[in-house]
Every structure is written in C-alpha cells, then in structure tokens.
C-alpha cells in the first residue's frame, strides 16, 4: 500500500520563509497524522505562484533554492514533492523536486511552459524535454507540472517509460467552468494512457488570480475517485493498493454561480490579508454593484471589518439611501453618511471663471464621482482600511466609470463580473440569507450623477450589451461575427468603439478578480495609442 | 549598382489602413525620387510595433495579411521589404516579405523571438529556423528581423548560404545608451561574417516605448558608413557598388542627455497625437519636475497647445508661484491660477466628525494633492486636453506621490527619469534657451503639502537614493550588494522597503516614457500581494 497526501495549501507569493514553515508543518502533518508515504505540493511551492519578475532577482532565486535544502533537512521519513525555480548554470527551470532522507532524490523540469493569457513562463524559464520517474514502495512514479498535462503526449510517454502513476503539481487559475475543463483533460489523459493521475492544485487568491484547489485523483479508467474541496485549504490522503487508487471522498463541485461567488469572497479575503490590511471600506450607493461588493466583503472579512460610506448628492434618490442603510443593517456593517454637496459646490465655484461660457457635460458628473473618491481615500488613508471599488466588467469595458472617482480604490472585486452576472450573484447571495434589498435588484441601474439619469440613456440595455462585450472582449470576434450572432450593428458599433477608446481608463484601474476566460489586466494586453477600430 | 532605401518611418500601432497609405507613398517616393531598387521598412510594418493582443484578433490578422497583397499590387517597379504578422495554418509568424511585381517574391520568418523586458513575442508568434535569401541585381540578399541579429550565428549562417548582404527590419526601443549597444552588436556581426548589413529601425513613440530610428548601414569591415537621424522620420538611399556600400552621410549621434530629452519630447508628441488629443495641460508647482514636463510639452506640441495650472495652497511659498509664472512667460504658455483652499476646507469640514480624535498625518496632505487632481481632471475633461502628470522615477519608486492626486493624468512623461536626471535635463534644456528659472533648479525639492516641508524630511538625499534605486530596481541587486557598493544599510533598507510596498501605486500610474534599461510598467512586472522583502 502506498499513501499519497495531496497538500492543497494557500501560499504567499514571494514569502519564501513563511511558505517554508507552512510546507514543513504540512509535510509533518502528512507524515505523522495521515501516515502518508509521499506528500505532493502545488507548482512552485516555495515561491508561490506566479512570482512574476521576482524570478529575475538572483537573491530571490538563491533563497528559493536554499529553501528546498532546508525543507529536505527539516523533514525526513516522508517523500516531499515540491516545486521551485531551479537555478542551474545560467538557466532557470520550473522544477519539481522529490526530497527524501534529507536530500534531493530527483527532480523534474517542466517541459511545457505556458506563455498566453495570464501566463508569462517563457519570460523566466527554459523548457526541458526529459521525463523523470522515481520509485516508492515498488511503484514507479512520474512527475509532471501543470501545463505539461494539457498537451497530448507526455502522460503517454511516462507510461511507456514504465510509470505506474503520475503526480502533477499545479497552479491552475480559476475561471467559471474551468474545473470541468481541467478534470475532463486530466481524466482523458489518465484513461488514454491507462494510468492513475494525482492532481494537486494551489488554493488562494493572488492579485488578479484565484487558485481554486479542487485537487483530485483520477484512476486508470479516467474516473475521479477523490476530490478535495474547492476554495479551501485541505490536506488529504489517497491510498493506492496494487497500483490502484482506492475510491474515497469526492467533495461536490460548486455550480457556476456559487463557484463565482466563492471565488470573489476568497479573492477579497486573500488580497486584503496578503497586502497587510485588516479591513475594507467602500462607497455604498444603493445600487446593485456596491451592494454586491459589500456582501462579498462582509462574507470575506467579517462584517465587523467592513465599513460602508453613503455619499449622497442632490441627484441621489431617497430609495438609494434607504436601501443602502437597510443593507448595512442586514449585514451588521457600520456605515457613515457624508453628503458631497460642500465639496461639489467648492469645486464648481473654483472653476466658475474658467468654465464660463461652457456647456455642462460629463465634467460636472465626474466632479461628483471624484469628490466621493477623495472622501473614500481620505478614510482609507486615515483608518488603514483598503478601499474597494465597485465597478463591474460591463462598465470597465465601455468606460462607464470615472477615473479617480468611482474607480478609486486598491482592489476591484467585481471588475471581471459583467452586469447581468452581478444581478445573478446578488440573487444567489440572497438565497444564503437576505442581505440585498429586493428593490436594489429590481430598480433600473443609474449612476445618479444627473437628474433622472439611468444607464440606458448612455448604453444599450445590458441584456444586449453584455453578450456583445463577451464576444468582442473575451472571444475576439469581429463586428460582423457579432452581427451574425443576432445583434444590431448600431449597438455593436457603439459598444465596440467604447471598448476601443477606453483602454486608457482600464490601464489605471485597480486589480480585480479574474472569473471569466479573459479578464482585463494582465490577461488582456492592449495598446492605448491604437489605430485599430473594431467598429 | 544596387540602391537600397532605408524607410525609417513613424507608424501607428493597429492603424493598418493609415500605415498602408504611408508605406505605399514611401515606396513610391523611394522608387521615383530616390531611384531605389529596394526599399526596406521596419519590423511589423503594416501593424506597427508592438501590436500586443491585437495579434490575437482574427479580423486584425486578416486585415494585416490582406494589406500586404494590397501594397504589392499598388506599387511595382521596386522591391518592397515589409514586416507583417503572417498567418499560416494555425500559426502566426513575425515575417518579412519581399514584394516584387505585384507578388510576394519570398518571405522570412523571425527565428529569435524576444520574450523579456518589454517584449512578449512568444505570446503571439511561433519561431522558425529557416533562413531566406533573394536575388536583386545579381546580389544575394538575406533577411533578418531585430532580435535575430542580437544572437550569434544567424548572420554567419546567411553568409555561408551565399548571402552578399543582409537586410534587417527592426523595432528596437530606445533607452539611454542603447544606440551604442545596437551599433556595436551589428558592426561586430558584420565584421565577424565579413558581410554588409542594412539596419532599418522604426521611429516614433508608442505608449511607453520610444523607437529612436538611427537606422544605419555597416560595411563588411564593421564600420558604419551611413546613419539616419535619431528621433526623426527619414527615407534615405545607400548605394552598393560591387557588393560594397558607398560611404555617405552619417548623422551625428546625440549624447546621453540630449538623446533622453529628445526621446521625452517625441514620446509626449506621439502619445498626444496618436491618442487623438490636440494639446496638454499640467499642474505647475514651481518645482523642478513640473517645470521640466512643461518644457518638454511645449517643445513637443508647441507652446500654444499647452496650458499650465497653478494651484497654490497655504503651504505654497511665494517663490513657487513666481517661478511658475516666470516659466510660463519664458515659454509663452497660457496659465490659470486656482487656489485650492475652498475645496480643502470643504473636505476638512465634511470629514471633521469622522476624523475627530485622530492625528494629522499623510491623509491631510493627500487631500490637498487630490483636490488638485480633481481640478486638473475637470479642466482636461472640459477642454479635451490631455493631463500630463509630473512625477519622476524616484518618486514612483518609493511611492512619494499621491494616488489620484499628483499621480492623476493620462500620461507621465518623466516617470522613468530619476530625480538627479530631472535636474540634468532641466539644465540641458536651459542650454537651448533659458526657460526654467534658475531658482527652480537650485532650491531644495519640496512637495509643499505641509509647513516648511522638504523631500529630505522623508527620504534620503537624492544623491544617495537614486543610485540605490537604480541598483535595486534596474539591476536586481540585493541589499548586501548595494551596501558593498558603498551605501549605508539604513538608507538601503528605507529605500528598498518603500519600493517593495508601493507596487500598488505604480500599478495604477499612467503610462510614461521608458528611457532607462528598466522602466516601470510592462518592463517590470511585480506582484502587489507579496511576501518578498528586499530589505
């Protein structure tokens, strides 16, 4: 019998010392409590993932390499499989090492380096083309790392080299539906090569990325016989008898909506804690976006760590204030109210000479939004709470947001959530407990920066806008292709030209949590000065 | 005799139609006025460089490939060598095509794809390993693209395959001193393989990058026998007799300071024009940073397209206002004065309840800076002028700047200019004509956000800070290595810990012009949530 522990743990990018302590404790737990023969950690365990340009620092690489030796010396009596950036001569490899009896028994260098989407691995690492197996309790065990098993060939090659089972170390980021893609691919590989596969994934939030865990074991028939929880740390053991994994607990999968909500909660929690904040504040408008962000923040950090600020203007409807207060009460969140009129009046007066003979336009709306930004940042600065900004993906796409105004903040939880999904998530959250007043969900969305303003004055209805944006932004479809999917060219052109010309705003937006196949930020790299016109 | 035209032109990323018109006009000019046999354009001519994720759009790639055929049909009677993203089956190549008599005569696919620093070419392109030569007037001519010739081997390989000369299409970004690196490498390659080399570089600003032109021809002895101007468009012809290039005009090289200044001017001009603005505004404080940015902006756009805004507070010294006004007069720039006190007073009052029982801290300083940000953005919005932000690289490094305050703006011209270099550039600019009052250069730098404040209250002197920052940020040196270079550990630790903890500010900073070997922005990709402590 062979017992393999899957160490699905939350690591801190760059925090080699903290990670080392956690790796050692986890390995000891796996050895002593779980009686595991082998413990497998996620990709690039000692550095966290993705370490980005820290990988260019020789001191950082030296620390990471030293850490592997320190871990090997610290824990014996169990095989430890960990990932680290291996410096060898003048090259850096994304490597998995097997530590046994205080030494590095063997190591495997990642063959397939992803360099698309959020991944830049070819910026740092050299690919290798060697496979690697080691022996434990009479079993031949092969190592692979993440992208390796998304390509055909490598699993088969290991099988042909005599491997009895395959371990794979991963840092596979979440987006909605990704878990199914991931299990499908891995199970196909296992079935195709008739070999069991142990898949260990990272868990935790890192800037824009969520690693969702859900580590699993597929048997040689391509069936999942163990699955760890999604979005939680978990160290579990799976037994192999005569080379076959024994079926054990398979944690249920979240559905699409609930997984998105869980990802957002984890993302906020980890960003706040990992950047050293204790709590968060946000502007609560009575609209759906800030309502959802407040619920996420309270779920992530605890209601006592979150504060809401109501900042009404003369355009704010009574129901906005009422609903905002109702929500803070439902969640048990402290709130403050500051009317923005004195500052708006001051700026209007200060600019009156210069703006003489000009027409009112978006400038006056932006001043209101920016007064709110100044207030929120002042409170964030004074009390050390992270300011969460509440814009959604539809707004980010078309630039329906004020730079340094409602876009001000350190983190943008729902930046990758299209407006229609904001509503779905709000409704989902209310099924757990009713915290978002129903009127917030049913009233027409409005920025409340001008009299009787609603979003549809400026934009196509979200039921039309969101699908167009998904096709244009996430799927790279052309205007003609979107038209062929059943949309009006006028709506398409309006949406696309807004997307094209608002890259400058997105470039200055705070980071937010990726939950779709393509988020803004590192995932979508567009020029600002650009002659490309999609419309 | 063979005449080769070097088409050092300014292209618009994504602007395929506009670029096509310019390519055709330039080719016709080379054929008709310069009587050239061949005209050589920069790398990825039809799309501009770098097109970034536009390369993932099938419609964009289709347009770019169509454009090559259109150009071939449009201009005959001259060989046109242009770059484009070549779609072939399911792969994309960074390709140079030779167009002759309305057809693609041959094409070369870039072998070496840079994926470091600002470059992400492996994100988009597949490398090839074939060389390519074509014949013109009895000469065998080989093609290479940019990074290809920074590696040993390819020039030699072409020579061995019988090439008589090598054309290379480039988009090589500027940083101070790069021109010498570039010519040294190319001349070594030419000399080593005993083959002349025609190097055509892009010119122009594109977001954070400056392409500095300075195209040149090296003979088989490794001597530069022609050089085009730096930072300007130029289409020139070089004659080859019996395979040897005939020495002609070599434009002089700028020195380090003057090249940096020229790069900043070009960068501002191209960013403003390419993003569709007509002019720029900025806040003019009487300090050195905004003084330099104003001079750059006036030189880039013309004084009549630039406006300065003075926004004094009670902490602003008289000399600040006096010097600011003196400078606007020297340059002939229009200015406005708006005292920020009414807005600061309004915010102070609005926050007085919430801030009761708290001490004054950076919050109150930030409010002042943010009031200025609101005013400047209001003017930018109302009059359609791009707001230039005036922070330098030293400030960006240590976070000595207010997010949404003095960091507000669409473009940050001196973001990659360390403070000591700001002074040098100001003094250099004054040698052209005295526009920056001497007192601005000699007074101690101050943010003027608190009584009698100077930068050295919070930071080590710039003569110490700047070298530490260069070693840490640009050279990835450790604290110990910096200490070994002669600095005090207290200063080092202070500087490094500020750099480490201010990544969140930099992530929301506007783009600026890269002039050093490593700029912030796409060039330096660091995690925000990070356990790495350089100090």
- Residues B123 and B29 reside in one and the same domain: yes
In a domain, A395, yes or no: yes
Q: How far apart are alpha carbons A348 and A359 in whole angstroms? A: 13
**Nearest of A390, A319, A309, A374 to residue A342 by alpha carbon:** A374
- A503 classed as catalytic: no
Count of C-beta atoms within a 10 Å radius of residue B304: 11
- B110 classed as catalytic: yes
In a domain, B493, yes or no: no
- Comparing CB atoms, the residue among B56, B379, B511 nearest residue A507 is B511
- In this prediction, residue B356 carries a pLDDT of 95
- A146 classed as catalytic: yes
Last residue of a domain, one of B425, B455, B485: B455
Q: What's the average model confidence in pLDDT over A485-503? A: 97
In a domain, A484, yes or no: no
Count of C-beta atoms within a 10 Å radius of residue B338: 23
Mutation target to probe the B interface, by most B beta carbons within 10 A, among A126, A202, A342, A532 is A532
Last residue of a domain, one of A216, A246, A276: A246
Q: Which two tokens stand for residue B130?
A: 């074939």
Mutation target to probe the A interface, by most A beta carbons within 10 A, among B517, B529, B530 is B529
**Nearest of B394, B455, B447 to residue B419 by alpha carbon:** B394
Q: Which two tokens stand for residue A136?
A: 């434990």
Sheet holding B386-387, edge to edge: B334-337, B306-310, B280-283, B386-387
Kindly indicate the confidence band of residue A375, based on its pLDDT and cuts at 50, 70 and 90. Answer: very high
Name the phi and psi angles at A484, rounded to 5: -65, -25
- Residues A236 and A280 reside in one and the same domain: no
Across the interface, whether the CB atoms of A529 and B271 are under 8 A apart is answered: yes
- Residues B317 and B227 reside in one and the same domain: no
pLDDT tens for residues B289-345? 999 999 999 999 999 999 999 999 999 999 999 999 999 999 999 999 999 999 999
Name the phi and psi angles at A473, rounded to 5: -85, -45
In a domain, B520, yes or no: no
Q: How far apart are alpha carbons A403 and A362 in whole angstroms? A: 12
Across the interface, whether the CB atoms of B363 and A354 are under 8 A apart is answered: no
Q: How far apart are alpha carbons B340 and B370 in whole angstroms? A: 10
Q: Which two tokens stand for residue A403?
A: 């730079």
- Residues A108 and A191 reside in one and the same domain: yes
pLDDT at residue A278 tops 90 = no
In a domain, A178, yes or no: yes
3-class DSSP string for B180-206: HHHHHHHHHHHHHHCCCEEEEECEEEE
The total number of structural domains in chain B stands at: 2
- Residues A227 and A278 reside in one and the same domain: no
In a domain, A530, yes or no: no
In terms of CA atoms, which chain A residue is nearest residue B352? A338
Contacts of A125 in chain B (CB under 8 A): none
pLDDT tens for residues A81-103? 999 999 998 999 999 999 999 99
- Residues A18 and A88 reside in one and the same domain: yes
Q: Find the CATH number of the domain harbouring B239.
A: 3.60.110.10
Last residue of a domain, one of B246, B281, B301: B246
Choosing from B3, B22, B110, B385, the catalytic residue is B110
A to B CB pairs, distance under 8 Å: 247
- Residues B202 and B68 reside in one and the same domain: yes
- Average pLDDT, rounded, for chain B: 97
Tell me which residue range forms the domain holding B222.
Answer: 2-246
3-class DSSP string for B270-309: HHHHHCCCCCEEEECCCCHHHHHHHHHHHHHHCHHHEEEE
Length of chain A: 535
Q: Find the CATH number of the domain harbouring B447.
A: 3.40.50.620
pLDDT tens for residues A202-216? 999 999 999 999 999
Residue with tokens 């990932």: A83
In terms of CA atoms, which chain B residue is nearest residue A479? B59
Q: How far apart are alpha carbons A263 and A175 in whole angstroms? A: 9
In a domain, B489, yes or no: no
Cβ atoms of B253 and B179 closer than 8 Å = yes
- Residues B421 and B333 reside in one and the same domain: yes
Mutation target to probe the B interface, by most B beta carbons within 10 A, among A338, A531, A534 is A531
From the CA of B62, how many Å to the nearest CA of chain A? 11
- Residues A264 and A396 reside in one and the same domain: yes
- Comparing CB atoms, the residue among A18, A54, A476 nearest residue B56 is A476
Q: What is the pLDDT along chain B (535 residues), one digit of tens a residue?
A: 999 999 999 999 999 999 999 999 999 999 999 999 999 999 999 999 999 999 999 999 999 999 999 999 999 999 999 999 999 989 999 999 999 999 999 999 999 999 999 999 999 999 999 999 999 999 999 999 999 999 989 999 999 999 999 999 999 999 999 999 999 999 999 999 999 999 999 999 999 999 999 999 999 999 999 999 999 999 999 999 999 999 999 999 999 999 999 999 999 999 999 999 989 999 999 999 999 999 999 999 999 999 999 999 999 999 999 999 999 999 999 999 999 999 999 999 999 999 999 999 999 999 999 999 999 999 999 999 999 999 999 999 999 999 999 999 999 999 999 999 999 999 999 999 999 999 999 999 998 998 888 888 889 999 999 999 999 999 999 999 999 999 999 999 999 999 999 999 999 999 999 999 999 999 999 999 999 998 8
- Residues B105 and B64 reside in one and the same domain: yes
In terms of CA atoms, which chain B residue is nearest residue A269? B529
Sheet holding A139-145, edge to edge: A133-136, A139-145, A165-170, A197-201, A216-218, A224-227
- Residues B322 and B398 reside in one and the same domain: yes
In a domain, A535, yes or no: no
pLDDT tens for residues B480-500? 999 999 999 999 999 999 999
> How far is the CA of A426 from the CAs of A159, A290, A291, B148, B265, in angstroms?
47, 10, 8, 53, 49
Across the interface, whether the CB atoms of A275 and B529 are under 8 A apart is answered: yes
Q: How far apart are alpha carbons A295 and A440 in whole angstroms? A: 13
From the CA of A347, how many Å to the nearest CA of chain B? 6
Cβ atoms of A136 and A159 closer than 8 Å = no
Contacts of B205 in chain A (CB under 8 A): 529
In terms of CA atoms, which chain A residue is nearest residue B518? A53
- Residues B230 and B317 reside in one and the same domain: no
């Amino acid at each position: 019998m062979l017992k393999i522990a899957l160490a699905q743990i939350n690591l801190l990018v760059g925090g080699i010392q903290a990670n080392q302590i956690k790796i050692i404790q986890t390995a000891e737990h796996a050895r002593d409590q779980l009686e595991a023969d082998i413990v497998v950690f996620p990709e690039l365990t000692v550095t966290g993932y993705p370490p980005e340009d820290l990988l260019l620092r020789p001191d950082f690489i030296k620390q990471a390499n030293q850490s592997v030796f320190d871990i090997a010396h610290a824990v014996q009596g169990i095989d430890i499989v960990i990932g680290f950036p291996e410096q060898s001569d003048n090259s850096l490899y994304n490597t998995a090492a097997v530590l046994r009896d205080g030494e590095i028994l063997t190591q495997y260098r990642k063959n397939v380096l992803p360099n698309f989407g959020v991944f830049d691995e070819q910026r740092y690492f050299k690919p290798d083309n060697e496979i690697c197996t080691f022996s434990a309790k009479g079993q031949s065990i092969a190592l692979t790392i993440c992208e390796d098993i998304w390509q055909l060939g490598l699993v088969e090659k290991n099988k042909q080299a005599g491997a009895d089972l395959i371990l794979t170390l991963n840092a596979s980021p979440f987006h909605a539906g990704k878990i199914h893609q991931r299990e499908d691919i891995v199970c196909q590989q296992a079935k195709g090569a008739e070999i069991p596969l142990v898949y260990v994934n990272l868990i935790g939030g890192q800037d824009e990325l969520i690693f969702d865990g859900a580590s699993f074991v597929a048997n040689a028939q391509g069936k999942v016989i163990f699955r760890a929880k999604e979005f939680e740390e978990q160290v579990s053991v799976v037994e192999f008898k005569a080379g076959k994994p024994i079926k054990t607990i398979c944690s249920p999968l979240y559905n699409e909506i609930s997984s998105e909500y869980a990802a957002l909660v984890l993302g906020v929690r980890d960003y706040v804690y990992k950047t050293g904040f204790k709590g968060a504040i946000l502007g609560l408008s009575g609209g759906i976006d800030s309502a959802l962000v407040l619920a996420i923040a309270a779920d992530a950090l605890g209601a006592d760590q979150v504060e809401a600020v109501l900042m009404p203007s003369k355009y704010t409807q009574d129901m906005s204030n009422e609903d905002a207060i109702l929500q803070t009460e439902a969640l048990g969140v402290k709130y403050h109210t500051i009317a923005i009129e004195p500052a708006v009046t001051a700026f209007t007066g200060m600019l009156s000479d210069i703006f003489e003979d000009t027409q009112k336009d978006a400038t006056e709306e932006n001043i209101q939004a920016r007064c709110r930004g100044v207030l929120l940042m002042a409170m964030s600065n004074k009390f050390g709470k992270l300011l969460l900004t509440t814009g959604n993906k539809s707004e980010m796409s078309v630039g329906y947001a004020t730079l340094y105004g409602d876009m001000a903040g350190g983190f943008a939880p729902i930046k990758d959530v299209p407006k229609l999904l904001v509503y779905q998530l709000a409704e989902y959250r209310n099924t757990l407990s009713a915290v978002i007043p129903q009127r917030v969900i049913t009233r027409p969305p409005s920025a409340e920066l001008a009299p009787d303003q609603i979003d549809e004055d400026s934009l196509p209805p979200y039921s039309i806008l969101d699908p167009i944006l998904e096709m244009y932004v996430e799927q790279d479809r052309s205007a003609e292709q979107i038209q062929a999917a059943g949309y009006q060219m006028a709506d398409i052109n309006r949406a696309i030209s807004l997307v094209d010309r608002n890259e400058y705003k997105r470039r200055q937006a705070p980071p937010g949590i990726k939950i779709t196949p393509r988020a803004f930020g590192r995932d979508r790299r567009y020029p600002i000065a650009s002659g490309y016109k999609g419309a």
